[in-house]
Structure 1
């Protein structure tokens, strides 16, 4: 059954419906799914996950990777990062989500959006939204993380927001060495500069990453950019 719109637009419609009618997000998602001919959002999400790119993307990641995931707001960068976390947990690895943006309930809602229930993964998922998040904090928190743990950092540009934190370049270099030495996968969600024009190119690229402070983006050995359902993945040669 073909959907009436890309799934990222259906998710956006559900969020708007949730706000407009003051109903829980999962109820709004179910309503959208029914209009698409499914019994509920979980059925729609299951159908989509069979063709979703996260599984293919995860298969191209290896321990030690530093991955950049970028998109304009509302185009699915957080969701695909959580889908990568789910793929890691499906393979028996841990996932950790560090965020300076979301509450735990926000993240649980987004897991439901992608049709995933954390209860299926026992103790494999960890959420952390401490105000102290920085490279040193992340490294300390992951001191006992086993090889293959997938870590999502939401988001890149906030790491050096506090003056007492080292500059962004220093933090990313430190995290790159840590990921390589401990064989972890670190995924950084990134903002895209407002100057990006989708009429000129269908998907943003490394040159469109918003950088309020200097950062050598070649430190990331893999990138994933999204726009209107299109995904561009690239690995360093």
Structure 2
């Protein structure tokens, strides 16, 4: 049975519960475990999956990969991307988040919700909200990034918003070549088309990506789709 949140997030919930209700931490941990379907915290730890979804997915990624994370709003695609960033930083690699949707405070709050303080990673996390975000801007900004750096673009469709930017297909091809040349992992958060119906299939797929303009989706190497707390990983080829 999948957990409702990563173990470190559940542990943080237990600490807050212990503080708010003035009960011992072990009692709070057991109460959280009970909500997850386990009679004791020790049983939750013993029976949890060996690797959390983000850790499992990160283990599949290799430098040069283009990755697509897709879900309908509110189903965890941004959190999954940030969990991948944490996995990269745990490995000693840098992570950079490009977005026009969030403020830096928003993202730091998301990290805190995961029980993560990015200050502990000694400057390995970067954040960019420039209005100039495009394939060319990202390549210029990341030109000196060391191999293994994880780049998150929030979101795929924003590259297609400005008329003075190259066509989306041209930009993704350029970023694919750039990722392979520099040994970077580039992760695109993506919107899902409104036509996707979860009652007909449990996960959106590559054919459900919202595309205002043509894009060869086989340019991506791996995908991660989320729906109602469940995760599906796939290799595109």
| 2:58 is the alignment partner of 1:58 | yes
For 1:128 and 1:148, how far apart are their aligned partners in 2? 19
Q: 1:142 — aligned with what?
A: 142
Q: 2:104 — aligned with what?
A: 104
Q: 2:219 — aligned with what?
A: 219
For 1:30 and 1:156, how far apart are their aligned partners in 2? 36
For 2:210 and 2:186, how far apart are their aligned partners in 1? 19
CA spacing shift, 1:229–1:84, aligned 2, 3 Å? same
Over the aligned positions, Cα root-mean-square deviation in angstroms equals 2.9
Q: CA deviation at 1:34?
A: 6.8
Q: Tell me, what secondary structure is at the counterpart of 1:159? A: helix
For 1:154 and 1:91, how far apart are their aligned partners in 2? 22
Q: CA deviation at 1:119?
A: 1.2
CA spacing shift, 1:30–1:153, aligned 2, 3 Å? farther
For 1:190 and 1:37, how far apart are their aligned partners in 2? 37
Q: CA deviation at 1:50?
A: 6.9
For 1:106 and 1:197, how far apart are their aligned partners in 2? 29
Q: CA deviation at 1:115?
A: 1.2
For 1:56 and 1:129, how far apart are their aligned partners in 2? 29
Gaps of 5+ in 1: 12-25
- Structure with bigger gyration radius: 2
**1:1-237 equivalences in 2 (<5 Å):** 6-7=4-5, 30=16, 37-38=28-29, 52-237=52-237
Q: Tell me, what secondary structure is at the counterpart of 2:144? A: coil
For 2:178 and 2:112, how far apart are their aligned partners in 1? 31
Q: CA deviation at 1:49?
A: 9.7
What TM-score results when the alignment is normalised by the length of structure 1?
0.82
Q: CA deviation at 1:6?
A: 2.7
Q: CA deviation at 1:194?
A: 0.6
For 2:172 and 2:122, how far apart are their aligned partners in 1? 30
For 2:216 and 2:174, how far apart are their aligned partners in 1? 13
Gaps of 5+ in 2: 22-26, 37-44
What TM-score results when the alignment is normalised by the length of structure 2?
0.82
Q: 2:41 — aligned with what?
A: none
Q: CA deviation at 1:202?
A: 0.6
